[in-house]
Structure 1
């Protein structure tokens, strides 16, 4: 079932599907993408930074970052187009986190997993312990 949403760019109501903006803004974003891509394709502009591309094309940095994250612009071809790690702000080429933050997150997850397994082992020990209660009054009754 499709969801109704307000476009984050123009606040127009639209049916949210594969795209996160309304059809009119999507057309504008595609035109902006073509502008950026034509700019960075030129040999003299391939080493441009995010700020330089944004200034020269008039396209907002967050849109260029969006295309980098979507891999529509490949960072291997344009090495100075980077964006910030979502956790610490370090400049990165791909993904959402830098290698340091990803490593920290992975080690935290491993610790949590180890903690859960220890807790699960303790619970299993408790579950295996069986206590019998003998009712003294009804002990010999059938």
Structure 2
């Protein structure tokens, strides 16, 4: 079931669900905007349009077009020049959340951390264990 929330666009109360993050009125406007964008992209001369060209040609906000792409409503396989920004560096990508460069960087950092942990474990194993003896002053 959904939760009561304020619409992020118009601040109207509505029931937020997994599929609806805006109120009914804003959702209807988003649907109209989607139809506008899709009609623009369906034209043969616009299929190779870049994101900023789609924004200029339709008047729809870039954030909303990116939402359509991320939700799978606009299939990038049909539009070779469209993409969305990498979540780390902002480079235009067409799949997943990170570009190849950022993925490699993260894998490199993980590998370095694993190496540090292995060296730390090795040092713990080779540290001599101390044995303590006590001299009792009591006579038995």
TM exceeding 0.5: yes
Q: Which residue of 1 aligns with 2:12?
A: 12
Structure 1 stretches of 5 or more lacking a match? none
Q: 1:121 and 1:98, CA in 2 relative to 1: closer, same or farther beyond 3 A?
A: same
Shift of 1:50: 1.2
Q: 1:42 and 1:20, CA in 2 relative to 1: closer, same or farther beyond 3 A?
A: same
- Mapping of 1:120-135 within 5 angstroms? 120-126=121-127, 129-135=128-134
Q: Which residue of 2 aligns with 1:70?
A: 71
Under a length normalisation based on structure 2, what TM-score does the superposition of the two structures give?
0.77
Shift of 1:2: 5.5
Instruction: Indicate if the aligned counterparts of 1:69 and 1:94 stay in contact, CA closer than 8 A.
Output: no
Instruction: Indicate if the aligned counterparts of 1:85 and 1:91 stay in contact, CA closer than 8 A.
Output: yes
Structure 2 stretches of 5 or more lacking a match? none
Whole-Å Cα distance in 1 between the matches of residues 104 and 96 of structure 2? 13
Shift of 1:77: 0.6
Would you say how many aligned residue pairs link Structure 1 and Structure 2?
Answer: 139
Whole-Å Cα distance in 2 between the matches of residues 90 and 41 of structure 1? 25
The CA RMSD measured in Å over matched residues stands at: 2.7
Under a length normalisation based on structure 1, what TM-score does the superposition of the two structures give?
0.76
Shift of 1:3: 5.0
Q: Which residue of 1 aligns with 2:136?
A: 137
The C-alpha deviation readout for 1:72-107, integer Å capped at 9, x for no partner, is 212121011123223333222222222112211221
